[in-house]
A = this chain, B = another copy of it.
Amino acid sequence: MPYGYTGRILRVDLSGGTTSVDTMGDLFYRKYLGGAGFISYFLLKELKPGIDPLGPENKLIFALGPVTGVPLSGSGRNCIGAKSPLTGGYTKSEVGGFWGAELKHAGYDAIIVEGKAEKPVYLWIEDGVVSIKDANHLWGKNTKETQDIIRDELGDDLIRVAAIGPAGENLVRIACIMNDLKDAAGRGGTGAVMGSKNLKAVAVRGHSRPEVADPGRLGEFRQWLLANRQLWASFAEFGTGAAMASTIGTGNIPVRNFQNGEFAEISNISADTVKDTIRIKMEACYACSVRCKKVVKVEKPYSVDPEYGGPEYETLAAIGSNCGVSDLKAVAKGHELCGAYSLDTIATGDTIAFAMECFENGLLTTEDTGGIELKFGNAEAMLQIIELIARRQGIGNLLAEGTARAAKKIGKGAEDFAMHVKGVEIPMHEPRLKAVLGLGYVVNPHGADHCANLHDTMLSQEGPPLERFKSLGILGPLPADDLGPQKVAIFRNVHLFRIVQDSLVFCQFVPYDSEQMADILAAVTGWKTGIVEMLRIAERTLTMARLFNIREGLTADDDKLPKRFFEPKKDGVLSTRHYDAEQLEKAKGYYYTLMGWDGKTGVPTPEKLEELGIE
């Protein structure tokens, strides 16, 4: 067993009400690392093709990495995966907080949840001991009530809880899973999978720190981070979403369902304004020095509970500018509601924005909305719709299906307004500005994801960000709208590195570079490893995710952007630029080739599978 791991994978069969522990050989850990790697492995190996994502045959996997729970900034996270109720293919999502570290301390590297409990249950894991506990009294409760009751009945305020609210229970396809109320495994609909299993929460408490191979070396990395505060000072001060008032000028921030580039009120919802108005403090995840998490409090006109943390950039834009909403207190309330109900704020914001555009174009009427004037900028409407989605009431029952399915049901051209890739709503970054982001959105196995991507505006001019990328082979500035082979190759490396981080499972905001991450992995596990091996692990993981998707019927045709990106924005700096479809197709083909997949179909070649040791 390598250092850094517990060597134990918990398997919970909710149908049978039994639990067991898998032990895997060293090779398993070295081949798949953790997090995203584990999830690719178990989904591909264990799921029967064609199963219903919301049926008992799906598996919900909570996976840690070798660094999870070691005393190092960025190591508190966990990864959650399943067959996605949005894409019908592979999904995984990462989440911060303390829960991941706590699970490691409780003695497990992962949990595989199988089957479906007859009645609502929650899992209670305390230092290796697992109980499946009744959750009838928790069903219907929001995440805070759930957490409070669990901590209370188990008698320990330091229990960490991953839970769903009503949205997960109601199989809302854009439901997420919340850690400690404040952190969301947002994307891909894993909250609905959890709900479909009648699993309300996973509560964990552990006291056993994983042993690491070289604690001294790990200490050096802690010191390095403290000595290089300038690299993360802005995160510590503002969290995500600072300076939105100036970045709106680049065209990156979506406005009114990705239609506009201009949003005069943008400074109202920037993290700078959050800091100056509603923010009461900053908080950290497990062991983290960066402390990038906002905590906000509002009393009027909405009461916003600080226990739900505060909105990240994605949320500020998704239920803010993308819905035309500039009322920061309403955005803060929307953020709290999403946390309480376990809704992905990105998907929720996009879905509401989509519905607003449908409404403004007459595809939805007050008859459909139950009287709500669902117009861009209507903050009250935004909040009402969140409630309806979570409870699948009225129009919310339609929108709970996510934009792609809702658009199909509405018909009449609504699909032109549905901003998604493979059914997963688009994050708050604009491919018409950053060409490679569009490539990343389409080739990423779990749909549009800004985290597993390259923000290529950083590569467009000389400077420290570009310098950092030179070690990945970039020779000089490449314009943000370039999507040639060099850009594709750099993107592939960055994407692979993100998958490494998601397998480690490590935070992207802690600014260790790829060389340092390799050294950290070596210090934790004792392996003599390096970047080449780490990138190959990511290649393996992505290729297995691709195989899973292919088995589920997804093809290269599903690697496509919504139509809107091929048109210019209605105003702002990108009103004269649109995404080039031919350029994207070429780039896609070259990406497939670089991955060792067929350049046309994107199907991994038999040789690549053999090379990567995929059976």
Which A residues are closer than 8 A to B by beta carbons? 27, 30-31, 467-468, 470-473, 475-476, 484-486, 488-489, 493, 514-515, 518, 527-533, 535-536, 590, 593-594, 596, 605, 607-608, 610-613
Given contacts A27-B476, A471-B528, A486-B612, 9 further A-B contacts (CB under 8 A): A468-B528, A472-B530, A472-B532, A485-B611, A486-B611, A488-B611, A593-B605, A593-B607, A594-B596
Interface residue from B470, B596, B605 paired with A533 (Cβ < 8 Å): B470
Q: Does A608 contact B533, Cβ atoms closer than 8 Å? A: no
Which residue of B has the minimal Cβ distance to A519?
Answer: B515
A-B contact pairs, 25 of them (CB 8 A): A30-B470, A31-B475, A470-B533, A471-B529, A471-B533, A472-B530, A472-B532, A472-B533, A473-B532, A484-B611, A485-B608, A485-B610, A485-B611, A486-B611, A486-B612, A488-B611, A493-B532, A515-B518, A531-B531, A590-B607, A590-B611, A593-B596, A593-B605, A593-B607, A594-B596
Max chain B C-beta neighbours (<10 A), residue from A467, A531, A608: A531
Residues of the B chain whose Cβ atoms lie less than 8 Å from the Cβ of A536:
473
Q: Does A527 contact B475, Cβ atoms closer than 8 Å? A: no
Oligomer: number of copies: 2
Which residue of B has the minimal Cβ distance to A531?
Answer: B531
A467 to B2, alpha carbons, bound, how many Å? 14
Q: Which 3 A-B pairs have the closest CB atoms?
A: A485-B611, A473-B536, A471-B530
Which residue of B has the minimal Cβ distance to A586?
Answer: B607
Known: A485-B607, A486-B611, A610-B486. A27 touches B515 (CB 8 A): no
Residues of the B chain whose Cβ atoms lie less than 8 Å from the Cβ of A613:
475, 486
Residues of the B chain whose Cβ atoms lie less than 8 Å from the Cβ of A611:
484-486, 488-489, 590
Q: Does B484 contact A529, Cβ atoms closer than 8 Å? A: no
Q: Does B486 contact A515, Cβ atoms closer than 8 Å? A: no
Interface residue from B484, B514, B528, B596 paired with A610 (Cβ < 8 Å): B484
Residues of the B chain whose Cβ atoms lie less than 8 Å from the Cβ of A527:
470-471
Q: Does A531 contact B530, Cβ atoms closer than 8 Å? A: yes
Distance in Å: Cβ of A205 to nearest Cβ of chain B: 36
Residues of the B chain whose Cβ atoms lie less than 8 Å from the Cβ of A488:
611
A493 to B536, alpha carbons, bound, how many Å? 12
A23 to B611, alpha carbons, bound, how many Å? 43
Q: Does B470 contact A528, Cβ atoms closer than 8 Å? A: yes
Distance in Å: Cβ of A178 to nearest Cβ of chain B: 36
Residues of the B chain whose Cβ atoms lie less than 8 Å from the Cβ of A518:
515
A467 to B525, alpha carbons, bound, how many Å? 14
Residues of the B chain whose Cβ atoms lie less than 8 Å from the Cβ of A475:
27, 30-31, 613
Residues of the B chain whose Cβ atoms lie less than 8 Å from the Cβ of A515:
515, 518, 530
Distance in Å: Cβ of A439 to nearest Cβ of chain B: 14
Max chain B C-beta neighbours (<10 A), residue from A27, A489, A514: A489
Residues of the B chain whose Cβ atoms lie less than 8 Å from the Cβ of A27:
475-476
Residues of the B chain whose Cβ atoms lie less than 8 Å from the Cβ of A529:
470-471
A493 to B471, alpha carbons, bound, how many Å? 17
Max chain B C-beta neighbours (<10 A), residue from A476, A608, A611: A611
A527 to B468, alpha carbons, bound, how many Å? 10
Distance in Å: Cβ of A109 to nearest Cβ of chain B: 19
A475 to B529, alpha carbons, bound, how many Å? 12
Distance in Å: Cβ of A119 to nearest Cβ of chain B: 44
Distance in Å: Cβ of A37 to nearest Cβ of chain B: 13
A518 to B476, alpha carbons, bound, how many Å? 20
Distance in Å: Cβ of A522 to nearest Cβ of chain B: 9
Residues of the B chain whose Cβ atoms lie less than 8 Å from the Cβ of A612:
486
Q: Does A473 contact B533, Cβ atoms closer than 8 Å? A: yes
Known: A476-B27, A518-B515. A532 touches B486 (CB 8 A): no
Distance in Å: Cβ of A586 to nearest Cβ of chain B: 8
Residues of the B chain whose Cβ atoms lie less than 8 Å from the Cβ of A473:
532-533, 536
A527 to B467, alpha carbons, bound, how many Å? 9
Residues of the B chain whose Cβ atoms lie less than 8 Å from the Cβ of A31:
475
A166 to B493, alpha carbons, bound, how many Å? 51
Distance in Å: Cβ of A104 to nearest Cβ of chain B: 24
A91 to B415, alpha carbons, bound, how many Å? 59
Distance in Å: Cβ of A230 to nearest Cβ of chain B: 16
Residues of the B chain whose Cβ atoms lie less than 8 Å from the Cβ of A467:
528
Residues of the B chain whose Cβ atoms lie less than 8 Å from the Cβ of A596:
593-594
Residues of the B chain whose Cβ atoms lie less than 8 Å from the Cβ of A468:
528
A484 to B488, alpha carbons, bound, how many Å? 27
A68 to B221, alpha carbons, bound, how many Å? 32
A250 to B6, alpha carbons, bound, how many Å? 42
A489 to B529, alpha carbons, bound, how many Å? 17
Distance in Å: Cβ of A436 to nearest Cβ of chain B: 13
Interface residue from B471, B485, B608 paired with A532 (Cβ < 8 Å): B471
Which residue of B has the minimal Cβ distance to A612?
Answer: B486
Distance in Å: Cβ of A83 to nearest Cβ of chain B: 27
Q: Does A514 contact B489, Cβ atoms closer than 8 Å? A: no
Distance in Å: Cβ of A332 to nearest Cβ of chain B: 40
Max chain B C-beta neighbours (<10 A), residue from A471, A530, A532, A596: A532
Residues of the B chain whose Cβ atoms lie less than 8 Å from the Cβ of A476:
27
Max chain B C-beta neighbours (<10 A), residue from A473, A486, A528, A533: A473
Residues of the B chain whose Cβ atoms lie less than 8 Å from the Cβ of A471:
527-530, 532-533
Residues of the B chain whose Cβ atoms lie less than 8 Å from the Cβ of A528:
467-468, 470-471
A607 to B476, alpha carbons, bound, how many Å? 18
Q: Does B486 contact A514, Cβ atoms closer than 8 Å? A: no
A529 to B515, alpha carbons, bound, how many Å? 9
Distance in Å: Cβ of A148 to nearest Cβ of chain B: 47
A27 to B462, alpha carbons, bound, how many Å? 13
Distance in Å: Cβ of A517 to nearest Cβ of chain B: 11
Distance in Å: Cβ of A485 to nearest Cβ of chain B: 4
A123 to B74, alpha carbons, bound, how many Å? 59
Distance in Å: Cβ of A608 to nearest Cβ of chain B: 7
